[in-house]
Structure 1
Amino acid sequence: MRRRRRRHRVLVPLALAAALLAGTIAAHELDQPDPGDPGFLSPVATDDDGGSRLADALRARGVTVARETDLLPALLGLDRGPATLFVPAAELLHPDTLGALGELPAGRRLVLVDPSRRVLESAGLPLVPTDRRWATRAVGPEAGGRPCAVPEATRAGVAAAGLQRYAAAPGTAAALDRCYADGLVRLPGRAEVVVIGASDPFRNDRIAEHGNEALATGLLGVHGRVVWLDLDGPAPAPTFGRPGGTGEPAWSPTPGGSTGYDGDGTGEGGPGGPGTATGDGDGSGDAPDSAGPPPPDDHPLLDAFPPWFWALLLQLALVALLIVLWRARRLGPPVTEPLPVEVRSAETVLGRARLYQRARARGPAAATLRTAALGRLRGRLDLPATLGPAEVAARVAGPAGGTPEQIHELLFGAAPQTDAELLELARSLDRLTRTVAAAPGRPTEGDPR
């Protein structure tokens, strides 16, 4: 029965901790989908993580929704007039094409959902991600004590935008409009950039909560036309050179007159026309080395694992700490326990004496005998603990029938040099304590009455 109780004391807390961890991880995975999943915020996806309800709401407001599955057609669609480029999964874009997001034509708006530091730096946007919550929180547009200057957010009110926060990059003087405790940031300029750190307002399963629908439709429908970049997976590297091998780029990352494949091969751009390549001009079709590798993140180890992994690791550490505290020895008064073996007092004294003899510790043995004798004498004669050696010898000399000098030498003298001297000291101390105990006076504990 006792063994079963001990097993329950170990298994029950571990089972509860495991259930708590599993429930927390499952709830987080359901609440925060992976942007790389197929159909994530797609205008034609009807599952929980899709964006079909948002697309329908935009069309109901008279907003034109143009779905594009590649960045080049999406950029070309911005040349037809004012529009909003909606990029819900910028991480899927190739690093060599991210620079085009920071060079949109004037009068356009770019809406990015939860972009990483790599995306922001590659796009040339003076923003950096800061704090991130474990789960999305619904907050007001003026949360954090800062007024919100984005009218779409002010009209929407409370929305589920409190997840990832953003701030101006160090060393930049960018004027930012911040809302929802820095969960939504607008960067004014020729092309307006809006960064929101949560996908909840755009998803089918959360769009009907709070002011999510008003916020999403307001951010995307400001120009009456939305170019929705719907990527179903990581985008391939951009191709340069047309099929004829003239070396002209298939597309340029700068929209607004300098984009596009020049169908007739004349090359009318760039330094020599919108479609001219920036290579060495030999027609070999080599790709210009302009983009280069993306800048490394500040914390590559942190970015190597998903956020839920670090949260799980932290919770496992807390569970281990709780188990250590639970199994550790508790502080409290001493508890008496039965001795496993009874040892006679005479055997204990004999064993200790043999240890002293083997170590030739005559000094410590003599000190132990004198301390024990002084304790008995003080209890018998009511001697205060503050008395010095001379006063103790004078008080003991009377009942013992000796001189103070003899008593002082016996109780506080030098250590014996031989075993015979130690034996004689022990006998003298025993006679002294017996003589004082037999003298008339106040009986002490153990004395015959």
Structure 2
Amino acid sequence: MATRKSGWVRRHRGLAILSSVVAVGLALGIWNQLAPKGDSETLSLANAGPNGSRAVGEILGRHGVEVHQAGDFETAMEALANSDYPTLLLYDRSGFLSGEQLSELADSAVRIVVVTPRLATLSALTGSGAPEDATTPNIRQAGVVPDGMPVLEPGCPLPDAVAAGPVSGDAGFTYDGGTTCYRPQGAAGGMLAVSDDERLTVLGSTTILGNRHLAEHGNAALALRTLGTSEDLVWYLPSLADLEPSGAPTSLAELRPKWVPYLGPWLLIVALAAIVWRGRRNGPLVFEPLPVVVKAVETAEGRARLYHDARALGQARDNLRAGTLVRLSGKLRLGPEATDAQAIEALARLLGRPADRIRTLINEHPGTEARLVAWAQELDQLEKEVRNT
């Protein structure tokens, strides 16, 4: 009985392999769909990865700050409305918010901490939200932190910056206007800018708030002192859902369906399964002769007609000369490594003729078809003389 089962397995080995591949693929697909999805968004409070901000949220919570993460504009506005003295952290990396939405946020928040804002975001925030008798904040972009400055000193009288001390300057942006701190040497602005009325704070680095570098230098202290001034902090990361009807996604990657990344592995599995299935069934490749044998003379005549139609005198002359030298070298037993000059010298000695005359004949360049035909006949006559010698 065992022998019969093992024989069945050997006969259906391809089917067994195909079934195993399909089963493994289905298991991986189901597991990927059912497994809990981790948050990988930059500066997300739920992201425990290097670019997340879970550590900052936990530190703020231990210091009595209630942090509300908002995933869309309506949730952020509701959280601001339910707080007496709210601070808003805004990180609109892709520029999803419109000018009207930014103005509403500025009017609803007592303080705004905006991280690496775009020009449009910064323009909307600095042009709204201030009382009529106050000076409008005028913070503007000034450049980037040079690569050779991984650590920046406060360099300003701002109490929060002085207490925090040096911070990481990697991949940072600089801003000018108001009170600027952490200014790179020779730069026009600093990585931290605070408006004169202290309602708007611009932080030009996500590194300071990220989990990976939070414990380095004074990053944690600056984050706590900048974001922990009020009991309520609304942590708002705009998303694609915040686009107004007239807006448009910033890239094609945001429009693609969620199943597109899994299409490639599935196609690979299907291709491998087809190879295993059809490859063994079709068997190895075998040689099958053509039903028609084309004679060499017909091939030569066909090529000659092509040269004639194209008036390719040079190509025809080169082929005739090369063929003649190859055949003569074989008859003179010179070997494949013999040069044209050696073949001509050997031919002259065999026929007792001057080498210059033979060289002139072989290297002639016929200018007309009639001369090409005559020259080919002379080469043929030369080969006949060698055979008869």
For normalisation by structure 1, the TM-score amounts to: 0.41
Q: Which has the higher contact order (CA 8 A, sep 6+)?
A: 2
| Structure with the larger helix share | 2
For normalisation by structure 2, the TM-score amounts to: 0.45
